[in-house]
């Protein structure tokens, strides 16, 4: 086996170009980590109108590129940027699909009706690009339902292609709650063939399920934490795909997400007002002061600040927090800072809270990377009451910033946060096991009582949290092992 692999990443988002959530962080940082190991990595993304081309030095590269979707012929163009870490990013320009606001949905969070077409086109165009530029990937790495079809195109359309026939595929499931299920009428357009519209592949009660098809066709499938891999196999968290995941046997695994500590690190973060580390925490006090000031909270260094940065989606349990938040405010000496967007009802609720609890609650409804960094740095605790969480990155970032996570013990949250041990001061955060308002309420109370009553334990936990290493050092090697396995599987077919 070659030491230097050629890796084609196909994804719907990646930092530093475009981001809706953690998928973007992972695609961007994993690509960089793999390139850092000496592999040749190409990332293919759509050219969305939101991407700032001049800021990223993205240049026109190829035009026109012809892509056949079944019997439909499209002409698109390709742009390119070379990142400092050595990764090459390609952007597929096709205005009919990608020249609009938002990545997946409009301003009202309504999914675009043609997403099935948009992303099957992206998946196919990425492979066509390999042929155009003579890039012979050893592995095609797809992410979530949006690019899962690439694994299928590879086996269906490119099975005899000189350049692509040996390429193996890997599919990473970042969230099985989104499977790309659309009316069967979209299937024809994909050109994947009606003989593959069967229950074990793309068909799902008469509709098209892109993730399911990808699971069938990918040589290796993984999700983003070991616990979520288990949950999706054995519980309802598999969202109906349990049997298909189990059918993959050992070829479905969990690999924990890594964090990019060049972006998320209090000792070098340019987005926060002062830098700090586990051995010198002074800067954190300054960050807390600045956060309180900015969010119009009472500027008291002694008050516990609880931060939230979240999409307001069912998964994240922000409705569960809403249920107990005012009880917490009435009974405990705490302040809340909330950053997020999504569900309109929750946006309204959290948006109005500062007016109702002046000096005690600050919120910003919308997206702000800079504020996200300040909340990580300036808070004492970070709460994530997720109903499920494939991995979760914010708790990992929080720990690096010495901000103790309060989380439900699900998926990657359970894998990354070590439960507080009140007898020793061990652990890195506070976990609850039933995702209910009561469990959340009492666990916040437990954390807050530790803050006021067991300061030595807080110190010990903060140090341990900051020193726990969640960088890609280990897990990028797990991906390499999985790629090698995928290549073996492909060969043996
Ligand atoms: P998910 O991908 O399910 O939303 P993760 O915890 O894996 O959850 O990743 C979320 C990422 O998105 C983090 O980098 C977080 O800081 C960022 N994020 C989420 N909401 C916002 C927001 N409103 N403003 C800025 N960043 C946000
Ligand atoms: C998804 C999951 C989140 C995970 C992220 C990156 O958005 O909801 O838990 O951390 O993908 O893998």
- Kindly state if the Cβ of 174 falls inside 6 Å of ligand 2: yes
- Kindly state if the Cβ of 26 falls inside 6 Å of ligand 1: no
Residues 188-204, mean pLDDT to the nearest whole number: 96
CA distance 305 to 160: 59
- Kindly state if the Cβ of 171 falls inside 6 Å of ligand 2: no
pLDDT category of residue 317 using cuts at 50, 70 and 90: very high
Mutating to test ligand 1, I would choose from 223, 225, 309 the residue with most ligand atoms within 8 A of its C-beta, which is: 309
- Kindly state if the Cβ of 273 falls inside 6 Å of ligand 2: no
* pLDDT tops 70 at residue 204: yes
What's the first-to-final CA gap in the chain, in angstroms?
17
pLDDT category of residue 109 using cuts at 50, 70 and 90: confident
User: b/e map of 250-267 (b: 16 or more CB within 10 Å)?
Assistant: ebbbbbbbbbbbebbbbe
Judging by DSSP bridges, how do beta strands 220-223 and 334-342 pair with one another?
A: unpaired
Mutating to test ligand 1, I would choose from 311, 342, 347 the residue with most ligand atoms within 8 A of its C-beta, which is: 311
Residue nearest to atom 26 of ligand 1 (CA): 369
* pLDDT tops 80 at residue 1: no
CA of 11 to the centre of ligand 2 (A): 14
- Give the relative orientation of helices 149-156 and 115-133 as an angle to the nearest 10 degrees: 50
pLDDT category of residue 465 using cuts at 50, 70 and 90: very high
Residue nearest to atom 10 of ligand 2 (CA): 392
Q: How far is CA 94 from the centre of its chain?
A: 25
* pLDDT tops 80 at residue 301: yes
- Kindly state if the Cβ of 393 falls inside 6 Å of ligand 1: yes
pLDDT of residue 54: 93
* pLDDT tops 90 at residue 108: no
CA of 23 to the centre of ligand 2 (A): 6
Nearest-5° angle of CA 321, CA 322, CA 328?
75
pLDDT of residue 107: 83
- Kindly state if the Cβ of 392 falls inside 6 Å of ligand 1: yes
CA of 174 to the centre of ligand 2 (A): 5
Tell me the per-residue pLDDT of 342-357, one tens digit each, with 9 for 90 and over: 999 999 999 999 999 9
Residue nearest to atom 1 of ligand 2 (CA): 174
- pTM summary value: 0.97
CA of 357 to the centre of ligand 2 (A): 32
Q: 6-258+472-492 with 282-467: one CATH topology? A: yes
Tell me the per-residue pLDDT of 382-423, one tens digit each, with 9 for 90 and over: 999 999 999 999 999 999 999 999 999 999 999 999 999 999
CA of 108 to the centre of ligand 2 (A): 22
CA distance 408 to 444: 11
Cβ 135 vs Cβ 7: under 8 Å: no
pLDDT of residue 2: 62
CATH number for the domain running over 6-258+472-492: 3.40.50.2000
Tell me the per-residue pLDDT of 471-492, one tens digit each, with 9 for 90 and over: 999 999 999 999 999 999 999 9
pLDDT category of residue 150 using cuts at 50, 70 and 90: very high
* pLDDT tops 70 at residue 316: yes
Kindly report the average pLDDT of the chain as a whole number.
97
Radius of gyration of the chain (CA): 23
- Kindly state if the Cβ of 13 falls inside 6 Å of ligand 2: no
Domain map (residue ranges) of the chain:
6-258+472-492, 282-467
- Kindly state if the Cβ of 390 falls inside 6 Å of ligand 2: yes
Tell me the per-residue pLDDT of 30-53, one tens digit each, with 9 for 90 and over: 999 999 999 999 999 999 999 999
CA of 311 to the centre of ligand 1 (A): 6
CATH 3.90.1150.10 fits 282-467, yes or no: no
pLDDT of residue 3: 84
Q: Residue 6: left if φ>0, alpha if ψ -120 to 50, beta else—which one?
A: beta
Residues 168-186, mean pLDDT to the nearest whole number: 96
């Amino acid at each position: 086996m070659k030491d230097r692999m050629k890796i084609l990443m196909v994804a719907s988002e990646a930092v530093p170009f475009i981001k809706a959530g953690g998928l973007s962080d992972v695609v961007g940082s994993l690509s960089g980590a793999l390139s850092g190991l000496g592999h040749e990595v190409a990332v293919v993304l759509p050219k969305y109108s939101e991407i700032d081309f001049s800021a990223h030095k993205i240049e026109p590269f190829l035009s026109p590129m012809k892509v056949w979707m079944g019997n439909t012929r499209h002409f698109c163009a390709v742009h390119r940027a070379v990142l400092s870490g050595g990764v090459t990013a390609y952007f597929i320009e096709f205005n009919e699909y990608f020249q609009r606001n938002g990545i997946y949905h409009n301003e009202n969070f309504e999914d675009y009706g043609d997403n099935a077409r948009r992303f099957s086109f992206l998946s196919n165009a990425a492979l066509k690009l390999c042929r155009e530029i003579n890039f012979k990937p050893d592995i095609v790495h797809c992410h979530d339902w949006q690019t899962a079809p690439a694994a299928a195109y590879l086996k269906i359309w490119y099975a005899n292609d000189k350049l692509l026939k040996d390429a193996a595929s890997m599919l990473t499931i970042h969230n099985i709650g989104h499977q790309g299920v659309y009316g069967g009428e979209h299937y024809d357009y994909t050109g994947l063939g009606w003989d593959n519209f069967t229950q074990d592949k793309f068909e799902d009660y008469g509709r098209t399920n892109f993730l399911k098809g990808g699971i069938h066709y990918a040589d290796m499938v993984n999700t983003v934490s070991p616990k979520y891999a288990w949950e999706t196999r054995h519980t309802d968290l598999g969202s109906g795909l349990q049997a298909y995941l189990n059918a993959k046997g050992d070829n479905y695994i969990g690999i924990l997400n890594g964090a990019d500590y060049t972006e998320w690190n209090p000792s070098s973060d340019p987005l926060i007002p002062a830098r700090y580390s586990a051995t010198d925490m002074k800067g954190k006090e300054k960050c807390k002061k600045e956060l309180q000031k900015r969010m119009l909270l009472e500027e008291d260094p002694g008050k516990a600040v609880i931060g939230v940065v979240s999409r307001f989606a069912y998964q994240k349990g922000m409705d569960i927090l809403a249920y107990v938040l005012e009880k917490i405010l009435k009974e405990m000496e705490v302040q809340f800072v909330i950053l997020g967007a999504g569900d309109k009802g929750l946006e309204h609720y959290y948006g109005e809270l500062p007016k109702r609890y002046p000096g005690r609650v600050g919120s910003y409804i919308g997206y702000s990377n800079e504020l996200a960094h300040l909340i990580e740095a300036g808070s004492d605790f970070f709460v994530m009451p997720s109903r499920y969480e494939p991995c979760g990155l914010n708790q990992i970032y929080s720990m690096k910033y010495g901000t103790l996570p309060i989380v439900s013990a699900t998926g990657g949250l359970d894998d990354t946060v070590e439960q507080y041990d009140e007898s020793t001061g061990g652990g890195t955060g506070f976990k609850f096991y039933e995702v209910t308002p009561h469990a959340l309420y009492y666990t916040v109370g437990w954390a807050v009582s530790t803050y006021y009553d067991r300061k030595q334990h807080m110190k010990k936990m903060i140090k341990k949290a900051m020193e726990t290493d969640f960088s890609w050092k280990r897990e990028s090697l797990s991906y390499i092992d999985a790629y090698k396995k995928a290549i073996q599987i492909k060969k043996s077919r």
